[in-house]
Structure 1
Amino acid sequence: MEYQTSLTQGQPDDEAVRLLQYYEALALENDPRGYCVCTSEGKDSRVLGHLFRRAGVKHFYQHSITGIDPPELIYFQRSNFQQYRDAGYLTYDVMYRKSMWQLMLEKKIPPLRTIRYCCAELKEKRSEHQGKAVVSFGVRKYESVKRARSRNELEIALPRQKNLIMPFDDGENRKIFELCYRDREKRVNPLAYWNDADIWNYSRDVKLEQCSLYSEGFDRLGCIGYPLAREQNRRREFSRWPKFYEQYLRTFDRMLERRRQCGDAILDYASTAEIWMEWWLSDHVQETAGAGQLSLYEL
């Protein structure tokens, strides 16, 4: 089935507000607390939360603790959550079930652009705080090719299948969204069609404070070492926060030992923790790691 890129008209912020107001009744039917706004308090999350407050719809906030976010972003998030609580909103901080270092040891590989097991465990796993709430993320189609194909303004998560996605309209799609998939996880992504300029223009126009790291030249904030980031940015992160580099290196060393104990392949580019780290940080490797190198990456 083919979908139009968008059925909304007008300015992106006005349409985002209209979308949230349009589905508020569905959100309240699923959970009396309203929407669950999943936020890291990075630039997209900040805009997302502001749109919810501007729309005047009932919602609460959830933040996933990853253990590998920049310290400055963590302090910024804590301060913002206190402000949300002071304004009467519910907030939840969700601790990871398994740390990044535990996940790497279990998988015996670092996360790659094509194998990002960390996102599913650290950020996307549904928590008990969410209940049956309609969730909202600051994901945007412009961020990656995969998101351009798979993310839309409205989504229904189907087990072991691709998400059912649909554009925003007031016709048959809404009936399907509300009735046929009543017990499935529902997601509303009002930033799906926003680009970077939209994010920064909106932040400027409404005088929305963003994390100080952006003013230092960081263009994205998230997990330190995140494999979707370019090599230059990842090296800059490790230079800024060297203790995370040291922890990654120690975990690479433990992964090698685990692979030896299990009799798994150890190839030339992973013969030592330091060599493996340099291989992992390479943009070329991150882009091309695939079928030809899966002897090391069998999960």
Structure 2
Amino acid sequence: MTPTQPLFPEIDSIEAITKEAVLFVRDNCPNGIEVGFSGGKDSICTAKIMELSGIKYSLVYAFTGIEPPEIVRFIRNHYPQCQIRVPKRTFWRSLTTNVPPSDRLRWCCTLLKKDNHDSVLGIRSEEGSKRANRPRINHWKGRTTYHPILYWKEWQVWDFIAENNLPYPKLYDEGFDRLGCIVCPYHSEKTGKLHALYRKRWPFMFKRFEREIAKLYQKRVSQAKTMAYDSPEAFIQAWYLDDSSRWYAK
């Protein structure tokens, strides 16, 4: 088994980190393992590492219905071997029986993206404190995930893509840093700039989200629920500004 820290901590060359990641996969990942593939830059690098490792694997994309259509087209055009896994319940249908997702309660990720399969994931510690604290081989609730590029920096990701002449979604060239779900609580922040950026690019998704939230709000009011906000519009504006942890009044 390879260690859970890079073999070459003092060497940042693309050749060195590629060699280390490939060795990590060969020594730790079982043949036939699934690779969670999002179509983003980190997944693209991870898929290439898997290819270089020579072990058997399958790419799986978890379709949510609220991702950029450009990402789905990119995957179909450049990774036709990738299985697009459609959930039994869509985000929109699930929203009718849940509270709106928040950064504290992201039921949508659990429902639409996570399963019980062992898998290889292209997460990186640089992306946030939670990921920084994860081990390179993570055992959780009977599931094991492997993270071959966990310690890569963003510049290494882009250099790896360039050196291997890998296609990538052109949305990155338009200024989008992360290409997950369009309507996501992770985009909520005090200025509202991220949601504004995404709304400008995909207004239809925001219109539907606001329409569905309004319907859900009125449904809960008709059930004699006491809401935290006086109107669905007030809640939605608070949600965009990261001040929406409460759906119901205390």
Letter in 1 for 2:146: V
SS at 2:185's partner residue? coil
Show CA shifts across 1:134-168 (max 9, x none): 4111112221222222x22101122xxxxxxxxxx
The 2-side partners of 1:144 and 1:234 are apart by 20
Q: Which of 37, 40, 48 is the aligned partner of 1:39?
A: 37
Q: Which of 79, 82, 92 is the aligned partner of 2:83?
A: 92
Q: Is structure 2 residue 66 aligned with structure 1 residue 68? A: yes
Corresponding residue for residue 100 of structure 2: 110
Q: Is structure 2 residue 196 aligned with structure 1 residue 235? A: yes
Conserved 8 A contact 1:142-1:195:
yes
Corresponding residue for residue 273 of structure 1: 232
SS at 2:44's partner residue? helix
More helix by share: 1
Cα drift, residue 213 of structure 1: 0.5
Show CA shifts across 1:40-62 (max 9, x none): 11111111101111122211111
Cα drift, residue 210 of structure 1: 0.7
The 2-side partners of 1:252 and 1:296 are apart by 16
Show CA shifts across 1:99-142 (max 9, x none): 212222211x221111111101111134xxx5xxx411111222
TM-score after normalising by structure 2: 0.87
Corresponding residue for residue 128 of structure 2: 144
Q: Is structure 2 residue 118 aligned with structure 1 residue 156? A: no
Q: Please provide the CA RMSD for this pair.
A: 2.1
Matched residues, percent identical?
Answer: 26
Letter in 2 for 1:46: I
Change (3 A) 1:296 1:118: farther
What stretches of structure 1 of length at least 5 have no aligned partner?
Answer: 29-33, 86-90, 159-183
Change (3 A) 1:296 1:53: farther
The 1-side partners of 2:230 and 2:129 are apart by 32
Cα drift, residue 19 of structure 1: 0.5
SS at 2:55's partner residue? coil
SS at 2:114's partner residue? coil
Show CA shifts across 1:238-260 (max 9, x none): 12111101110111111212221
Letter in 2 for 1:66: T
Conserved 8 A contact 2:36-2:120:
yes
The 1-side partners of 2:64 and 2:55 are apart by 28
Change (3 A) 1:35 1:205: same
Corresponding residue for residue 166 of structure 1: none
Letter in 1 for 2:216: M
Cα drift, residue 296 of structure 1: 4.3
Corresponding residue for residue 51 of structure 1: 49
Cα drift, residue 273 of structure 1: 2.5
Change (3 A) 1:296 1:75: farther
Matches within 5 A, 1:224-263: 224-229=182-187, 230=189, 231-263=192-224
The 2-side partners of 1:295 and 1:277 are apart by 13
What stretches of structure 2 of length at least 5 have no aligned partner?
Answer: none
The 2-side partners of 1:294 and 1:276 are apart by 8
Corresponding residue for residue 18 of structure 1: 23
Q: Is structure 2 residue 115 aligned with structure 1 residue 125? A: yes
The 1-side partners of 2:219 and 2:18 are apart by 50
Cα drift, residue 275 of structure 1: 2.0
Conserved 8 A contact 1:157-1:185:
yes
Letter in 2 for 1:147: R
